[in-house]
Structure 1
Amino acid sequence: MLYVLHAYDFTDEQALDRRLAARPHHFEGARQLKANGHFVMGGALLSPEGTMIGSMMVVDFEHEQALRQWLDAEPYVTGQVWEKIDIKPFRQADI
């Protein structure tokens, strides 16, 4: 099952520092997700000025429980980078 995740960063003064500190661990986790067939695509959400304000990921998990288990250990969650996370089932267009 595919899921699309839009995660918005905290906006306090230390938010960017937390993001940058957690970023190598987040990328390592994404590489592991990809190796295990769970990562479809993702990247940074940007403000109109080009500043990182969050993340978007499309992930593939057998069920939502597995998605939640991954998310509970995600460095951007444990490192308090993402404040608000919106997750929806996703159907990729077959064109």
Structure 2
Amino acid sequence: MYYAIFGTDVPNSLPLRMQVREQHLARVQVLADQGRVLVGGPHPAIDSEDPGEAGFTGSLIIAEFPSLEDARRWADEDPYSTSGVFARVDVKPFKIVIP
């Protein structure tokens, strides 16, 4: 089943985000290489593809996991979680309806 992982950043997270970004992306790429990622990306803090110093307010990934517990464990072990980029992480089951 798919699960939506919503990470909400701490204020002024950009410097910390940049420190662990490559580790985070490498970890997500493993899921992508296994064909388990539906979509993923950050939420810009302003209405722009490149928010610059405004940074981001969080991230979303929708990916396939064997269970809700597995999805939560994966999210808890992500570098953005363990390094303090995320103030909170919500994980919810996700059902594809469209397309």
Query: What TM-score does the superposition give when structure 1 sets the normalisation length?
Result: 0.85
Residues 34-85 of structure 1 deviation map (CA, whole Å, 9 limit, x = unaligned): 1233322101112334441110110110111211221222010111111121
Could you say which residue in structure 2 is the equivalent of 1:22?
20
Task: Write out aligned runs for 1:11-90 (5 A).
Answer: 11=11, 13=12, 15-49=13-47, 50=51, 51-90=55-94
Instruction: Give the fraction of aligned pairs with identical amino acids, expressed as a percent.
Output: 27
**Farther-moved stretch of structure 1 (42-51 vs 77-86):** 42-51
Stretches of 4+ aligned residues off by more than 6 angstroms:
none
Paired with 1:19 and 1:45, the residues of 2 have a C-alpha distance of: 13
Would you say how many aligned residue pairs link Structure 1 and Structure 2? 93
Paired with 1:9 and 1:81, the residues of 2 have a C-alpha distance of: 5
Query: What TM-score does the superposition give when structure 2 sets the normalisation length?
Result: 0.82
SS in structure 2 opposite 1:25?
A: helix
Please, which runs of 5 or more residues in structure 2 have no aligned partner?
Answer: none
Paired with 2:98 and 2:15, the residues of 1 have a C-alpha distance of: 39
**Farther-moved stretch of structure 1 (52-61 vs 84-93):** 84-93
